[in-house]
């Protein structure tokens, strides 16, 4: 095909191509800005929805706990019992209304006989004497089976969903049931909306996500109800309500699976409103700059083709990591300055690459980049970090009789495997202390997944140890075992040392506690121990509660846990919980027998430790036992 006369000159073709690329670049830039803004808005909303969901469940749990306490106080109230003793419905109802108005954070109250008849209520006199529904009977039967005769659950009354709490009325035996509850209605949700600044809805998944209450407008509710098939049963999803995009997050309501779901929502379009204004400005800027470039490009195209060709060649060489290539121009104009600057940039890159290579052999790549890309000076910052301590148990004794060369060979093999696992899980090896390893997760680069990454690394280390010991056996080395302590908390992270020699590390109580936890693994017969902060930050991991202790150097008790590859079987978990309950309450004899039975069944060293400790405490009961075991040594 014959070229147009206007494109036969190379400078014109170059100018035309550059302008075309400029236009394409502007379009792609706008597209990626759109995408980045949208993803950024979603990330912000994800965080806000997580916070709103936690606030909702916290308010719900707090109200439920308060109501449970209030109903227990009411059941034991002498005046209320006297009112009930009159057997006069009006008197009982008056007392109920009085308590409901003055004391209780509830919407309804019922007195129900042991035969499931409604004796009195705060809703309607007409239902007095009627039998409660089957759903209520099951809740009352469940309460009757409990040691404290109390229970809670979700149910409906007159078409309204309530969270109900049951407590016995004792005189002195159970003579009736007291039932109180609060409604899942719009008023309840609007109160929480003022705290979260998000739209809230409660849906019943057992009835095809039927709406129970919501802060949405009437039209938005209708639109949401019409999109039931688009609603997920868990997690995040997007919906369009009245042509407005919403990011929604759904979760189960309450501890039991009642089918009730709480949905928190925020408008994506409202989050992007400021960006939409900015995009209009960007479009104007892009249009104006394109027009300007049309004039400039046509005027300078012929003068820049040659140096651009050389710059292109130089860029290709740098891309191939050839940092010895130089342009070496004598031009004095702007293009000459650019080419000289390019040469200086290659020199700087070459020097940085040399330094990075050297540092990478001494510190982790993350720390090396931190040192190269920032001003190196003493000092640090407070940040939340997860610290992992690992140590080979009995390494000193295992090395007796071995030559230093063989000990170093064994240690290097082990540390290489451990370092690889830590790197794979976005961790940083802070230092090697003989056979011990201190690793950081969340420093110098912060990460919300740092606790989970540390736990995954620890579990992979224990798994790796099995194959490593097989390898050591073939090399005539003794088998080794390790202990790992993990803790999450606020530390001071930064460069520490002297002006002439410094090291990037972290310090703080959280570091000391992770070291203490590593030391306790051998005592408890487990390979990994984590602190409370790490456990809370890793909700997707199975844990076994180990103990509540006071480690040396700390007065406050610390709950410690063992992360598991998979959950305990239900029978073992139930028996372990019973044994711990007896142990914590000071019934050491019975606890010891259960721990012995668990040890005989599973062979787990933790149960053997608890058995012997229970026997010791039973023989010499401590004063003021609070369930916390104190350690006097590291």
Q: How confident is the model at residue 516 (pLDDT cuts 50, 70, 90)?
A: very high
Predicted pLDDT of residue 376: 44
Q: How far apart are CA 72 and CA 84, in angstroms?
A: 16
Q: For residue 444, is the peptide bond before it cis, meaning its omega torsion is within 30 degrees of 0?
A: yes
For the CA atoms of 548, 552, 553, 555, the dihedral, rounded to the nearest 10 degrees, stands at 30
More confident residue, 286 or 616: 616
Give the side-chain half-sphere CA count within 13 A for 110.
Answer: 25
* 377 in Cβ contact with 497 (< 8 Å): no
Of 481, 590, 591, nearest to 547 (Cα)?
Answer: 591
Q: What is the mean pLDDT of residues 136-158?
A: 84
Both tokens of residue 480? 């080794």
The 10s digit of each residue's pLDDT in 367-383 is 556 555 655 445 678 89
Q: Largest Cα–Cα distance of the chain, in whole Å?
A: 110
- Residue 293 pLDDT > 90: no
Q: State the pLDDT confidence band at 4, using cuts at 50, 70 and 90.
A: low
**Residue 398: per-residue pLDDT:** 67
Q: Is the pLDDT of residue 95 over 90?
A: no
Q: How far apart are CA 236 and CA 11, in angstroms?
A: 54
CA dist 183 and 403 (Å) reads 75
Give per-residue pLDDT as tens, 57-75.
888 788 778 777 878 777 7
The more confidently predicted of residues 624 and 206 is: 624
Average pLDDT over residues 183-210: 81
3-state secondary structure of 133: coil
Looking at 3.30.70.1230, 3.40.50.2300, 3.40.50.970, 3.30.420.40, the CATH number of the domain 365-567 comes to 3.30.70.1230
Question: By the 8 A CB rule, do 23 and 312 touch?
Answer: no
The per-residue pLDDT for 7 is: 59
- Per-residue pLDDT, averaged over 501-517, amounts to 86
Tell which residue, 514, 495, 359, 377, has the closest CA to residue 441: 514
Site of tokens 């076994």: 544
pLDDT digits over 169-183, tens only?
A: 887 888 888 888 888
Residues constituting the chain: 634
Give pLDDT, residue 47. 85
In this prediction, residue 532 has a pLDDT band, given cuts at 50, 70 and 90, of very high
Question: Alpha helices, DSSP H only, in 425-449?
Answer: none
Supply the pLDDT for residue 452: 95
pLDDT score recorded for residue 5: 60
Q: For 90, phi and psi rounded to 5 degrees? A: -65, -40
CATH superfamily of 76-183: PAS domain (3.30.450.20)
The C-alpha atoms of residue 440 and residue 511 are separated, in whole angstroms, by: 10
Euclidean distance between CA atoms 148 and 154, whole angstroms:
19
How does the average pLDDT of the chain come out, rounded? 82
DSSP annotation string for 189-235: HHHHHHHH-SEEEEEEGGGTSEEEEESS-HHHHHHHHTTGGG--SSE
pLDDT at 2 over 60: no
Q: Is the pLDDT of residue 423 over 80?
A: yes
- Domain positions in the chain: 76-183, 198-271, 365-567
| Model pLDDT for residues 538-592, shown as the tens digit of each residue | 999 999 999 999 887 778 899 999 999 888 888 999 999 999 999 999 999 999 9
Instruction: Name which of 163, 86, 157, 149 is nearest 124 in CA terms.
Output: 157
Taking only the tens place, the pLDDT of each residue in 109-123 is 899 988 989 889 888
Same fold, 76-183 and 198-271: no
Sole residue written with tokens 């309950």? 581
Give the pLDDT confidence score for residue 70 in this predicted structure.
Answer: 78
Which residue has better confidence, 498 or 214? Answer: 214
What's the CATH number of domain 198-271, 3.10.590, 1.10.357, 3.40.1840, 1.20.1530?
3.40.1840
Let me know: does 84 contact 90? Beta carbons within 8 Å. no
Q: By percentage, how much of the chain surpasses pLDDT 70?
A: 89
Tell whether the model's pLDDT for residue 453 goes beyond 90: yes
Distances (CA, A) of 403 to 205, 476, 496: 68, 13, 35
Q: What's the pLDDT at 587?
A: 92
């Amino acid at each position: 095909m014959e070229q147009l006369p206007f494109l036969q000159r190379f400078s014109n073709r170059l100018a035309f191509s550059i302008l075309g690329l400029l236009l394409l670049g502007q379009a792609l830039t706008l597209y990626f800005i759109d995408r980045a803004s949208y993803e950024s808005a979603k990330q912000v909303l994800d965080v806000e929805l997580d916070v709103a969901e936690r606030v909702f469940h916290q308010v719900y749990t707090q109200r439920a706990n308060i109501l449970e306490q209030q109903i227990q106080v009411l059941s034991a109230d002498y005046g209320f019992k006297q009112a009930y003793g009159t057997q006069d419905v009006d008197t009982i109802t008056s007392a109920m209304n009085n308590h409901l108005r003055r004391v209780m954070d509830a919407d309804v109250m019922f007195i129900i006989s042991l035969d499931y008849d409604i004796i009195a209520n705060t809703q309607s006199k007409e239902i007095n004497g009627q039998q409660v529904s089957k759903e209520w009977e099951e809740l009352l039967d469940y309460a009757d089976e409990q040691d404290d005769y109390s229970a809670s659950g979700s149910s409906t009354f007159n078409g309204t969903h309530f969270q109900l709490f049951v407590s016995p009325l004792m005189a002195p035996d159970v003579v009736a049931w007291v039932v109180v509850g609060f409604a899942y209605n719009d008023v309840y949700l609007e109160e929480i909306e003022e705290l979260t600044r998000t739209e809230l809805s409660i849906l019943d998944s057992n009835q095809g996500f039927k709406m129970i209450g919501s802060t949405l407008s009437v039209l938005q509710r209708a639109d949401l109800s019409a999109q039931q098939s688009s609603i997920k049963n868990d997690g995040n999803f997007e919906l369009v309500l009245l042509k407005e995009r919403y990011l929604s997050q759904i979760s189960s309501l309450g501890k039991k699976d009642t089918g009730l779901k709480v949905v928190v929502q925020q408008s994506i379009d409202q989050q992007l409103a400021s960006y939409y204004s900015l995009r209009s400005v960007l479009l104007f800027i892009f249009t104006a700059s394109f027009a300007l470039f049309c004039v400039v490009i046509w005027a300078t195209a012929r003068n820049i083709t040659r140096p651009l060709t050389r710059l292109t060649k130089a860029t290709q060489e740098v891309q191939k990591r050839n940092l010895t290539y130089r342009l070496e121009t004598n031009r004095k104009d702007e293009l000459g300055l650019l080419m000289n600057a390019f040469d200086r940039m290659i020199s700087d890159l070459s020097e940085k690459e040399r330094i990075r290579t050297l540092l990478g052999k001494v510190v982790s790549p993350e720390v090396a980049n931190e040192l190269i890309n920032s001003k190196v000076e003493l000092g640090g910052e407070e940040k939340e970090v997860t610290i992992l301590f690992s140590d080979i148990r009995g390494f000193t004794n295992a090395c007796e009789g071995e030559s230093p060369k063989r000990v170093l060979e064994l240690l290097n093999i082990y540390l290489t495997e451990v370092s690889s696992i830590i790197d794979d899980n976005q961790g940083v090896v802070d230092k090697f202390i003989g056979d011990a390893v201190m690793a950081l997760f969340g420093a110098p680069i912060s990460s919300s997944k740092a606790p989970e990454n540390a736990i995954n690394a620890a579990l992979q280390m224990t798994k790796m140890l099995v194959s490593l010991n097989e390898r050591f056996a073939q090399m005539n080395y003794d088998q080794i075992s390790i202990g790992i302590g993990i803790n999450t908390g606020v530390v001071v992270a930064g460069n520490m040392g002297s002006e002439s020699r410094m090291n990037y590390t972290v310090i703080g109580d959280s570091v000391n506690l992770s070291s203490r936890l590593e030391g306790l693994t051998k005592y408890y017969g487990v390979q990994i121990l984590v602190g409370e902060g790490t456990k809370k930050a890793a909700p997707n991991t199975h844990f076994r509660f180990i103990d509540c202790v006071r480690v040396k150097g700390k007065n406050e008790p610390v709950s410690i846990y063992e992360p598991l590859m998979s959950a305990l079987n239900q029978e073992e978990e139930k028996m372990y919980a019973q044994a711990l309950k007896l142990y914590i309450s000071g019934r050491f004899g019975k606890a010891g027998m259960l721990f012995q039975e668990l040890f005989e069944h599973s062979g787990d060293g933790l149960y053997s430790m608890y058995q012997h400790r229970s026997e010791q405490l039973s023989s010499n009961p401590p004063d003021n036992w609070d369930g916390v075991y104190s350690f006097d040594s590291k």
